[in-house]
């Protein structure tokens, strides 16, 4: 393989461009469709003539985006916010969308404080729980907020006392049906947030759900196209022999966001090595960086790579039911040396 002299400035520029590149998927279209529904309700509710005429404001609705860690949920949602023409000031205090990360551990009080902080009203003094939420309602109306995006909602479900989680859900529901200033909610989190939201019939009725499913080897052609689009930017050749795309899907547990991250890491390794072609070995090195697992517990190296349980990469027993042949041979050789 030909080698180039690595240029650190060039590598930094390429990696910056690659990280700014966003790969769309069919689930982005579904998310966009549902978000437009949410934005549409928000803009209709807040029409000045409705409020001036004393018309009853429509109750808020919710969207819940669920999926395992590494699926790219937060990135996809953030991109939809940033690219929406109705939100030119996204990220600014004047924006009608406010973003909150659920605190961990989460209580009704800490969540209220987090929302106030996101609304530009941090609390320095200790306040009672009911006072905090009165301030949340008042601040939402004052700022004209239409949508609250609450990320990492599973931090609520990890609470030991179920009654606290119920109180949090009831309080979030009160934001949607406030008679003075109802808002819409957008949630993101692990799959267990679905159960948390559907345990309340009223919340379930008002919520639309989007699931970020894991992908499998049937999507290998799509993954190859994504890798190729990245290597074109990096001016690297790439070949897909020996099931490279399938190994990548397996190594990432089918999580789209992890696939993207690992591909970028492999490209950076190739560029730093002065390589002109992205190979399976570069992905193998990226996997070692992530997990510490070299051969034989590395899906990019092992012959029996499908037997590796990528969900257990930080544990000793990473093989499903049987070990890789290379691992068995290594053990036999070790015994002979003894």
Using one digit for the tens of pLDDT, what is the confidence trace for 1-26?
A: 556 788 999 999 999 999 999 888 77
Answer with the residue of higher pLDDT: 120 or 293. Answer: 120
Q: Worst-scoring range by mean pLDDT, 162-166, 189-193, 196-200, 295-299?
A: 295-299
Q: Using CA atoms, how far apart are residues 338 and 333, in angstroms rounded to an integer? A: 9
Q: What are phi and psi of 45, to 5 degrees?
A: -65, -35
Per-residue model confidence as pLDDT tens digits over 93-105: 888 999 999 999 8
The predicted pLDDT at position 126 comes to 87
The predicted pLDDT at position 124 comes to 82
The predicted pLDDT at position 89 comes to 86
The predicted pLDDT at position 88 comes to 82
The predicted pLDDT at position 41 comes to 56
Q: Is residue 44's pLDDT more than 60?
A: no
The predicted pLDDT at position 264 comes to 98
- Residue count (the chain): 338
Q: Using CA atoms, how far apart are residues 151 and 292, in angstroms rounded to an integer? A: 30
> Could you give the residue range(s) of every CATH 3.40.50.300 domain in the chain?
26-212
CA distances from 21 to 12, 24, 227, 318 (A): 14, 10, 12, 33
The pTM assigned to this predicted structure is 0.81
Three-state DSSP state, 319: strand
What is the residue-averaged pLDDT of the chain? 86
Q: Residue 143: pLDDT band by 50, 70, 90 thresholds?
A: very high
Cβ contact 303:324 at 8 Å? yes
Q: Worst-scoring range by mean pLDDT, 106-110, 141-145, 263-267, 288-292?
A: 288-292
Q: Using CA atoms, how far apart are residues 198 and 204, in angstroms rounded to an integer? A: 5
CA angle 182, 164, 210 (to 5 degrees): 55
Answer with the residue of higher pLDDT: 221 or 3. Answer: 221
Q: Using CA atoms, how far apart are residues 276 and 103, in angstroms rounded to an integer? A: 45
Q: What is the mean pLDDT of residues 182-197?
A: 95
Answer with the residue of higher pLDDT: 331 or 313. Answer: 313
Q: Is residue 333's pLDDT more than 80?
A: no
Residue 211: both structure tokens together: 């699931």
Q: What is the rounded end-to-end Cα distance, in angstroms, of the chain?
A: 40
Name the percent of the chain lying above pLDDT 70.
Answer: 86
Provide the sign of the torsion angle of the four alpha carbons 67, 72, 77, 78, taken in this order: positive
Q: State the DSSP string of 301-312.
A: T-TTGGGB-GGG
Answer with the residue of higher pLDDT: 44 or 60. Answer: 60
CATH entry, 26-212, from 3.20.20.10, 3.40.50.300, 3.30.1330.10, 3.40.1010.10: 3.40.50.300
């Amino acid at each position: 393989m030909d080698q180039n002299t690595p240029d650190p400035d060039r590598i930094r520029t390429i990696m910056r461009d690659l990280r700014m590149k966003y790969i769309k998927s069919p689930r982005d279209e579904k998310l966009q469709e549902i978000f437009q529904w949410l934005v549409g309700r928000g803009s209709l509710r807040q029409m000045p003539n409705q409020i001036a005429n004393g018309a009853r404001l429509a109750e808020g609705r919710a969207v819940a985006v669920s999926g395992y860690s590494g699926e790219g949920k937060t990135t996809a949602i953030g991109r939809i916010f940033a690219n929406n023409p109705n939100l030119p000031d996204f990220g600014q205090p004047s924006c009608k969308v406010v973003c909150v990360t659920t605190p961990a551990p989460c209580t009704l009080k800490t969540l209220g404080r987090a929302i106030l902080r996101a609304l530009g009203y941090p609390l320095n003094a200790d306040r009672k729980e009911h006072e905090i939420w009165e301030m949340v309602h008042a601040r939402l109306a004052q700022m004209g907020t239409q949508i609250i995006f609450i990320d990492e909602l599973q931090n609520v479900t990890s609470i030991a006392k179920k009654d606290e989680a119920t109180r949090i859900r009831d309080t979030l529901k009160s934001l949607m049906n406030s008679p003075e200033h109802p808002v819409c909610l957008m949630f993101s989190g692990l799959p267990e947030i679905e159960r948390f939201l559907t345990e309340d019939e009223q919340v379930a009725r008002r919520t639309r759900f989007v699931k970020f499913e894991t992908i499998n080897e049937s999507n290998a052609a799509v993954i190859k196209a994504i890798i190729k689009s990245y290597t074109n930017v990096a001016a690297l050749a790439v070949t897909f022999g020996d099931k490279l795309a399938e190994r990548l899907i397996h190594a990432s547990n089918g999580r789209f966001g992890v696939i993207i991250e690992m591909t970028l890491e492999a490209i950076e390794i190739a560029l730093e090595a002065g390589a002109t072609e992205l190979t399976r070995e570069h992905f193998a090195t990226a996997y070692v960086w992530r997990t510490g697992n070299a051969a034989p517990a590395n899906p990019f190296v092992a012959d029996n790579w499908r037997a590796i349980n990528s969900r257990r990469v930080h544990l000793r027993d990473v093989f499903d039911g049987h070990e890789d042949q290379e691992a068995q041979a290594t053990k036999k050789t070790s015994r002979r040396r003894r």
